[in-house]
């Protein structure tokens, strides 16, 4: 779990963190200098601003028109396409309304085609 102390809506919340992301951030935390509880400590008690590093990585990868915030939309979409309910998405993303969840989760055409094909198969068989 990651604790987000400062969020857009001003409420502190916990977010699940598993798999490779958890392993990588744990390694960063264990190998950092100093005794800060922050994963990316800056000077003093303030966290480091990762915007410059993000912008440099996007530029080096030659990705155009992509913002850090777009990752929330991608995460919501991948969660939805892997069976997460709207309530689960709201909890993970920290959204208070299902309308906001719907704004963030975008299903791919391939996914929606599979959903329709699955329904047809269940109702009509292999026709």
- For the segment 16-55, what is each residue's pLDDT rounded down to a tens digit? 888 998 999 889 888 887 777 777 777 767 778 888 889 9
Are 28 and 83 members of one domain? no
Are 33 and 75 members of one domain? no
Number of compact structural domains in the chain: 2
- Segment 70-109, tens digit of pLDDT: 988 888 888 888 888 888 888 888 888 888 888 887 777 7
- Residue 113 phi/psi, 5-degree rounding, is -65, -40
Are 71 and 123 members of one domain? yes
Are 72 and 35 members of one domain? no
* pTM for the structure as a whole: 0.68
Tell me if 53 is assigned to some domain: no
Supply the mean pLDDT for the chain. Answer: 84
């Amino acid at each position: 779990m990651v604790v987000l102390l400062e969020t857009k809506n001003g409420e502190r919340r916990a977010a699940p963190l598993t798999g490779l992301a958890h392993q990588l951030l744990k390694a960063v935390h264990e190998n950092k200098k100093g005794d800060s509880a922050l994963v990316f400590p800056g000077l003093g008690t303030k966290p480091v601003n990762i915007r410059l590093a993000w912008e440099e990585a996007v530029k080096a990868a030659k990705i155009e028109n992509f913002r850090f915030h777009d990752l929330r939309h991608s995460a919501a979409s991948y969660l939805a396409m892997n069976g997460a309910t709207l309530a689960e998405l709201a909890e993970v993303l920290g959204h208070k309304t299902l309308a906001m969840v719907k704004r963030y989760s975008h299903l791919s055409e391939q996914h929606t085609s599979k959903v329709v094909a699955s329904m047809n198969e269940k109702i009509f068989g292999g026709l």
